[in-house]
Structure 1
Amino acid sequence: MSPHETDLATLRALNARFIHNFVTNDAAGHSTILHPDFIEIGTTGARQDRAAYLLEWASAFDPAVITYWDMRDENIAVYGDVALVRAATKWVRHGVTGMTCYTDTYLRVGAQWLCVQAQLTPVAEKNYPPDRTIVCEYHDGVQVAR
């Protein structure tokens, strides 16, 4: 594998881990892939620092509330020691379906990629990426084989 292919594979695995950490409320594991200066910009434009984000992360996914979750339309671009990981998540909360796209910005720190920023944007239904782009899927908090 070329260095670029290795970076893409590493970032693809980190993105899958990011999603799995959310669905399993694994804040401790998630902390290991976040840069010390991490910031999240949520769907309303509100910003959270690393500590507040991880505190929320520990209990944000409730399978009684979020009965469906997938990640789709993954696109990863590497620019030297910076990478943009872009994808969308489709979810069903309290019976209401919605979608959010995200861009996670990673920095290469030594031999490790760390997420320094996550930015979320709501997606209008007419712009939903198709189901054929689903990468991973969860029903009631349990990952479904694809």
Structure 2
Amino acid sequence: MSHDDLSLLDTLRALEVELHHPGVRSSAERLSQLLHPDFHEVGRSGRQYDRETIIRWLADDHEPPKVVPDDFRVAPIAPDAALLTYRSAHRQQDGSLAHHTLRSSLWLKTSQGWQMRYHQGTPATQPW
């Protein structure tokens, strides 16, 4: 992986993980900066969501799960587009991990900075 790819990976991983943080999730303003105006998501349930629905849901989710992300990878698509993939799980109160998910996010570099254009979560067939 080149130095530029590592830098891109670090940048996008930080932005992606920011979306897991309760303070960011409850800030419609920050979510509006991170999510592209044409944002669309297919959740691990298979349901589709638009930007407004996601911002409203995240802002109302006062006790978000503790997300444990792992194995981040980046695939530059163009100078202003990249695919970020990773695995995640939710840490349960007993410390165990549940809801293992394979995730992918398409990030676009805009005049606002990097913004997530698309996200998909797919249930993992096996835990890590």
Cα distance change of structure 1 residues 87 and 45 upon mapping to structure 2, 3 Å threshold: same
Q: Distance in 1 between matches of 2:101 and 2:13?
A: 18
Q: Identity of aligned pairs, percent?
A: 27
Alpha-carbon distance change, 49 to 24 in structure 1, aligned in 2, over 3 angstroms = closer
Root mean square deviation, CA, Å: 2.8
Query: For each residue in 1:50-100, what CA deviation from the matched residue of structure 2 results, as whole angstroms up to 9, or x when unmatched?
Result: 10111111123526xx4x431111112212121111112211458782212
Give yes or no for contact 1:22–1:60 (8 Å, CA) kept in 2: no
Q: For residues 74 and 23 of structure 2, what CA distance do their matches in structure 1 show?
A: 19
Partner of residue 20, structure 1: 21
Structure 1 residues 12, 44: closer, same or farther in 2, change over 3 A? closer
Q: How does 1:101-116 map to 2 (within 5 A)?
A: 101-110=102-111, 112-116=113-117
Alignment of 1:15-94 (within 5 A): 15-21=16-22, 24-60=25-61, 62=63, 66=65, 68-80=66-78, 81-92=80-91
Write out the 4+ residue segments of structure 1 that deviate beyond 6 Å after TM superposition.
none
Shift of the 94–61 alpha-carbon distance from structure 1 to 2, 3 Å rule, reads farther
Note if contact 1:102-1:118 (Cα within 8 Å) is conserved in structure 2.
yes
Name the aligned partner's letter for residue 112 of structure 1.
Answer: G
Q: Is the 8 Å Cα contact of residues 22 and 57 (structure 1) preserved in structure 2?
A: no
Q: Which sections of structure 2, spanning at least 5 residues, go unmatched?
A: none
Listed as ranges, the gaps of 5+ residues in structure 1 are 130-146
Give 3-state SS (helix, strand or coil) of 2:63's partner.
coil
Taking structure 2 as the reference length, the TM-score comes to 0.78
CA distance in 2, matches of 1:38, 1:7: 20
TM-score between the two structures when normalised by the length of structure 1: 0.69
Structure 2 CA distance, aligned partners of 1:83 and 1:57? 24
Q: Displacement, 1:21?
A: 5.0
**Structure 2 residue matching 1:113: 3-state secondary structure:** strand
The answer (yes or no) to whether the contact 1:21–1:29 under 8 Å persists in 2 is no
Residue type of the partner of 1:98? Answer: H
1:73–1:52 distance in 2 versus 1, CA, 3 Å? same
